[in-house]
Structure 1
Amino acid sequence: MRIAIFGAGSTGCYLAGQLCLSGFDVSLICRPAIKQTILANNGITMSDYQGFLHTVMPQTMITDIEQAPTAYAAFDVVFVTLKCHQVSSIANTLIAITHSNSSIIFMQNGLGSFDTITDALGHCNLLQGITPFNVLQQPNGRFHKGTEGVFTLQQNEHTQTIQTAMQAQGFGCDLHQDMTPVIYGKLLLNLNNALNAITDLPIKQQLSQRDSRRQLAGAMTEWLNVCQAANITLHQYTKVKPQWLPVILSLPNMLFTLLAKQMLDIDPQARSSMWEDIQAKRKTEIEFINGAVVRLGQLYGVKTPINNAIVAKINQLEQLV
């Protein structure tokens, strides 16, 4: 099975590392800076909050895929790990590097980007996946997993093979037939991405502040109300049901700290991908995360003032950088 990671940044490199260690032929389609970093440090170094540390070199790193896509044709599986706003422009390239039985797995946060490209890719098996944990790029080609969770993919023959190989190496990999509850449930947790970028603090430190937690609780409540109006049940990612998260987040610091230890394991230095985008002066995915709450709120007649305000603040930060 030939696998490509299209748009390999922090999450894509971590996924590539796990797939390489699981025995797959993996190619990175990445920016020149990522390739140079990996070459300079003799591979992708993966680490996590539990002490895992391993370095692996992918088989191929491609930086010119749009100039000569046919030279890299016939990938069996392509994981698309680009940002949401970049997805709609790559249909022709994906067609050029896949075949009729290929699986293309879109790994974007939030809602909306998958719909922008599906009509152009009817020849392939189009799947969705998510990364329910945080990966932050660190110096010396190191990609650090800062929170708990495992890659979660839509089920078909290719992803079943991937799951079996990854589990044999001790890596978790969850499969689901219906990804809607999974993606909508992940969006509930992703609502903190923007708030983490706004506060400019590690997630654990940010969540130690009750005012920040209350704002997150309000944003989550709006999304829960939208999902209720849409009659969508959310997949549960924490040890408590999604409906209880705003209640727990609103608790006084002492009670929250006690319960949070049992809810979610997190590295003290973990930060959100949106924080990383702001720091790197890149466009964020705000319109596909908190912005999606606002859009669907309008569709179903649910008010979303907190998410509206968060979108406005991130838009301001993007303009400032």
Structure 2
Amino acid sequence: MQLAIYGAGSTGCYLGGLLQLCGHQVSLICRPRIRDAIINAGGITLTDYRGQNEKVMPASLITELAGETFDAVFVTLKCHQLASAVNDLKQLAEKGAELVFMQNGLDSLDAILNQLPKGAVYQGITPFNVLSLDNAHFHRGTEGSFLFHRTPITEQLAQHLSAIGFPCELQADMKPVIYGKLLLNLNNALNAIADQPIKTQLENHALRKVYAAAQREWLEVAKAEGVELVQFTAVKPSWMPIVLGFPNWIFLRLAKTMLDIDPLARSSMWEDIQLGRKTEIEFLNQAVVKRGEILGVDVSVNRKISSLIHSLECGDTVSLEELY
């Protein structure tokens, strides 16, 4: 198939590399900086915390669309970047491409959905962390498999990914999936504030208690909305805050899978803060606050986390003590 990754950064390059390994013709629609890095490195290097180490060159590297057509386009832009790309995305969909939006968080499509052809828009989720390293090297630091809205195209891709040892899941209804993923993604901001590797952060009982409190707020909001979250870990969503709150001597024994991650892995929001980029906090913890306020649910922990991220975006210094 002719496939494309629109907005190929860390996650997009990793996904694009996997799909190229499956035998598809994959084009990366990316910034000149990414294109040049891939050319200079002789391809994309894919590694993970379990020993993956492969190198692949995409079929093409595109910095400006010129009428290309694709069977499917995976959109891996940040949530707040979608509005600026809507004309390109509309053009791609009108030429027959299925658009699969891979954004984390809530309401990311609200601003553009009515501008895109009906029947061309689907969603997907990347439940793991990918870190961008030098020389077009993209490293998966945590567990998880891609999740896609079920379509004839994604059914084929799921088979192909499984054949190279990278199984993915297909869902008919993505809302419970997105809600379930947000339960985990509430840690993205906390990790950026802590300025620690995720593994180190999760081994800190005080920080886990804050994470658990943020999760409880989201679970209450989802309950008020009547949405049952999809389970992403060995523990049911409703049990996650309980497990996180256990003292270390219990947690470190029970959460071996959760801690089976690269010791240096950090969240994408941490990377955004380090590079002075706008974060996706509006679609994560802040989205919980927005819904909670409407529904009358206490969301004070997510409100504080959101406030600290906005301070970091402005270049201010924050203290973990403000969360305890």
Provide the C-alpha distance between the structure 2 equivalents of 1:135 and 1:306, rounded to a whole number of angstroms: 27
Give the CA deviation at 1:43.
Answer: 0.6
Q: Give the distance between the partners of 1:101 and 1:174, measured in 2 at CA.
A: 24
- Is 2:118 aligned against 1:118? no
2:315 is the alignment partner of 1:320 = yes
Give the counterpart of 1:133 among 119, 128, 133. 128
Q: 2:273 aligns with which of 253, 269, 278?
A: 278
Q: 1:252 to 1:86 in 2, by over 3 A?
A: same
- Give the C-alpha shift of residue 172 in structure 1: 1.2
How far 1:140 sits from its partner (Å)? Answer: 2.0
Pairing 1:1-321 to 2, within 5 Å after superposition: 1-63=1-63, 65=64, 69=65, 71-99=66-94, 101-263=96-258, 265-320=260-315
Q: Is the 8 A contact 1:2 1:75 kept in 2?
A: yes
Does structure 2 conserve the Cα–Cα contact (< 8 Å) formed by 1:152 and 1:176? yes
Q: CA RMSD in A?
A: 1.2
Aligned length: 316
Q: d(CA) in 2 for partners of 1:190 and 1:234?
A: 13
Gap regions ≥5 residues in structure 1: none
Distance 2:158 2:137 in 1: 24
Give the whole-Å Cα distance in 2 for the aligned partners of 1:186 and 1:262.
17
Q: Is contact 1:148–1:264 with CA below 8 Å preserved after alignment? A: no
> Distance between the aligned counterparts of 1:122 and 1:52, measured in 2?
38
User: What is the Cα deviation at residue 100 of structure 1?
Assistant: 5.5
- Structure 1 CA distance, aligned partners of 2:257 and 2:200? 17
1:36 & 1:234 partners in 2: Cα distance?
A: 41
Q: Deviations over 1:261-300 (max 9, x none)?
A: 0445311111000001011111000010001100110121
Report the 3-state secondary structure (helix = DSSP H, G, I; strand = E; otherwise coil) of the residue aligned with 2:243.
Answer: helix
Does the Cα contact within 8 Å between 1:130 and 1:152 map onto a contact in 2? yes
Q: 1:278·1:317 contact (CA, 8 Å) conserved in 2?
A: yes
- 8 Å Cα contact 1:43-1:57 kept in structure 2: yes
Question: How much has 1:122 moved relative to structure 2?
Answer: 2.0
Percent identical: 53
Look up the equivalent residue of 1:215 and give its one-letter code. Answer: V
Q: 1: distance between equivalents of 2:110 and 2:282?
A: 14
Q: Give TM-score, length-normalised by structure 2.
A: 0.95
Q: CA deviation at 1:119?
A: 0.6
8 Å CA contact 1:73, 1:98 repeated in 2 = no
Aligned AA (2:266)? R
Cα pair 1:203 1:272 within 8 Å, conserved? yes
Amino acid at match of 1:258: R
Q: Distance in 2 between matches of 1:263 and 1:60?
A: 36
Distance 1:301 1:195 in 2: 24
| Separation in 2, partners of 1:181, 1:21 | 30
Q: Distance in 2 between matches of 1:146 and 1:78?
A: 25
Cα drift, residue 150 of structure 1: 0.7
Tell me by how many angstroms 1:168 deviates: 1.5
SS at match of 2:143: coil
State the TM-score, normalizing by the size of structure 1. 0.96
Aligned counterparts of 1:206 and 1:77: Cα–Cα separation in 2: 37
**Any idea what SS the aligned residue of 1:47 has?**
strand
Secondary structure in 1 matching 2:298: coil
Q: Work out the CA distance in 2 between the residues paired with 1:108 and 1:200.
A: 23
One-letter code aligned to 2:86: A
Secondary structure of 2:256 counterpart: helix
**1:98 Cα deviation (Å)?**
3.4
